[in-house]
Amino acid sequence: MASGEAMRRRHPLLGVALLSALATAIGIAIVLSIDWFPSQASTAAKDIDELYYVLAVVSVPIFVLVMAVALYSVFAFRVRPGDMRDGEPIHGNTRLEIVWVTIPFIIVSILAAYGWVVLNDIEERKQDTLTVDVTGQQFAWSFEYPEQGKLQSNQLVLPKDRPVRFRVHTKDVLHDFWVPHFRLKTDAVPGLTTDIRVTPSRLGTYPVVCAELCGIGHATMRQSVRVIPAAQFDSWVDEQRQGKSDGGVAAAGGDKTAAGRQLFTDTGCDACHALADAEATGSVGPDLNDIAAAAARYGKRQSQSPTEYVKNSITKPNTFIVPGFREGLMPETYSEQLSEAEIDTLVEYLLGVGKEKDAQ
């Protein structure tokens, strides 16, 4: 006890150094134990996550150092109110100042170099690349596979382990194509085609998120990407072609309602519209839960059958605007994106679900 007291007096900073080392160890343990990222679904994810963990670990001793000096000063040099003493008139220390310019300079230089190396790795051009054109518009993504006979799709499906090059476009304002599980994003810029390269490395379904504010429906501009085994990719492409001609009914095992529901979600209708059957809660456009009644009412006014009304609302959305909503919000491109058969499936589904609700 007495020797400890003497120790402390002789080396007042030894205890602080030990405590700081302990705090650094705990801090690093915490940083490493936190599961920061979504699961890694691309080859780049591993490199990026490692880089992040290195940055976080390097930060810990720096933060601990600042805190240790600040807290030690407060405890050791604190005076009572009314104490008129001044501190020691130390004006500086050139050697110390050179040190604390040089060391941070070296640290950030190394980190910048490391970042550059990782950047080159993740953006490396690879052989046998699948090209996918991604187009953003308020408030949905659509996809085209130029090498698969210009297949148009509202779903993004990728073969595992094959490098993909996304060419990202927009039809209106800025959007940002982001798949958190791939760790990669890029803006969709009017007048430009932006590029990103990804190699999906894990099977599964992951969210596609718009990360650049694009207007009223930005928050719900979400779709998904499905990574499937490479062997199944070609059959998926065929299935899509088939779906274009039969409205996806065969793929859904002949169940028209299921086909409609799938189409509703894949097309991104759920981003803006509410529909209980498809678990959609969007509030940008009209609520579709009572669409059967609304189609009958508004259709009558324009002397259209409910079917015609719903079809026109999808293909020519700005000819009639439901009261309380703004013109120009709904994209006018669904007649190009969806085939006749698909539109019919969708119309039948919407009216069917609406009627079911009435019957209940």
Partner 1 sequence: MTATARFRAPGWYRAALSLVIAFAFAVALVTGVRALYGWEVLDWGAIGTVAMIAMPLAFLVGIGCFDYWFGWAIGKPTVPDDHSSHGATSWKDYFKVNTDHKVIGIQYICTTFIFFILGGLMAMLIRAELAQPGTQFVDPNTYNGLFSVHASLMIFLFIIPVFAGIANYVVPLMIGAPDMAFPRLNALSFWLLPTAGVMMVASFFADGGAFATGWTAYAPLSTETPFGQQFFTLGVQFAGASSIATALNFLVTIITMRAPGMTFWRMPLMVWAQFTTSLLVVIATPFIAGSQFFVLLDRSLGTDFFTAGNGGDVLMYQHVFWFYSHPAVYIMMLPGFGIVSEVISTHARKPVFGYRMMAFSLVAIVILGFTVWAHHMFVSGMHSWLRIPMMITTMLIAVPTGVKIFSWLGTLWRGAIHLTTPMLFALGFITMFTLGGISGIMLAVIPVVIHVSDTYFVVAHIHYVLFGGSVFTIFAGIYHWFPKMTGRMYDEGLGKLHFWLSFVFFNLTFGPMHFVGVDGMPRRVADYADQFATLNAIISISSFLFGLSFLIFLYNMIASWRHGPKAAGNPWRAHSIEWQVSSPPPIFNFDEVPTVVGGPYEYGVPGAVHAVFGDKKAPVSAAHGPAPTPAGGGAPPPNDP
* Site for partner 1, residues 83 to 102, rule: CB under 8 A: 83-93, 96-97, 100-101
Instruction: Work out the burial of residue 313: count CB atoms within 10 Å of its CB; fewer than 13 is exposed, 13-18 middle, 19 or more buried.
Output: buried
Task: Give, in order, the Cα–Cα distances in Å from 28 to each of 23, 59, 107, 115.
Answer: 8, 9, 18, 20
* 206 versus 349: smaller Cβ distance to partner 1: 206
Spatial separation of the C-alpha atoms in residues 311 and 308, rounded to whole Å: 5
**What is the closest distance, in whole angstroms, from the C-beta atom of residue 347 to partner 1 in the complex?**
26
First to last CA, the chain: 82
DSSP type of residue 329: -
Binding mask 297-336 for partner 1 (x = CB under 8 A): -----------------------------x----------
Spatial separation of the C-alpha atoms in residues 245 and 242, rounded to whole Å: 5
**What is the closest distance, in whole angstroms, from the C-beta atom of residue 243 to partner 1 in the complex?**
27
Q: Please name the residue ranges forming H helices in 123-249.
A: 230-246
Spatial separation of the C-alpha atoms in residues 126 and 157, rounded to whole Å: 19
Confirm or reject binding of residue 220 to partner 1 (CB under 8 A). yes
Q: Cβ(199)–Cβ(163) under 8 Å?
A: yes
Footprint of partner 1 on residues 9-68 (CB under 8 A)?
A: 34, 36-38, 44, 47-48, 51-52, 55-56, 59, 62-63, 66-67
Sign of CA dihedral 56, 59, 61, 67: negative
**What is the closest distance, in whole angstroms, from the C-beta atom of residue 148 to partner 1 in the complex?**
25
Sheet holding 222-228, edge to edge: 156-159, 222-228, 204-210, 175-179, 184-188
**What is the closest distance, in whole angstroms, from the C-beta atom of residue 102 to partner 1 in the complex?**
9
**What is the closest distance, in whole angstroms, from the C-beta atom of residue 196 to partner 1 in the complex?**
8
Footprint of partner 1 on residues 198-217 (CB under 8 A)?
A: 207, 209-217
- Which one of residues 23, 173, 228, 258 is an interface residue with partner 1 (CB under 8 A)? 173
Q: How many residues bind partner 1 (CB under 8 A)?
A: 87
**What is the closest distance, in whole angstroms, from the C-beta atom of residue 108 to partner 1 in the complex?**
4
* 130 versus 196: smaller Cβ distance to partner 1: 196
Confirm or reject binding of residue 172 to partner 1 (CB under 8 A). yes
**What is the closest distance, in whole angstroms, from the C-beta atom of residue 115 to partner 1 in the complex?**
4
Q: Which stretch binds partner 1 (CB under 8 A): 16-24, 149-157, 189-197, 258-266?
A: 189-197
Q: Which stretch binds partner 1 (CB under 8 A): 10-18, 179-187, 289-297, 315-323?
A: 179-187
Q: What angle do CA 50, 54, 57 make, to 5 degrees?
A: 135
**What is the closest distance, in whole angstroms, from the C-beta atom of residue 264 to partner 1 in the complex?**
18
Spatial separation of the C-alpha atoms in residues 130 and 205, rounded to whole Å: 19
Confirm or reject binding of residue 186 to partner 1 (CB under 8 A). yes
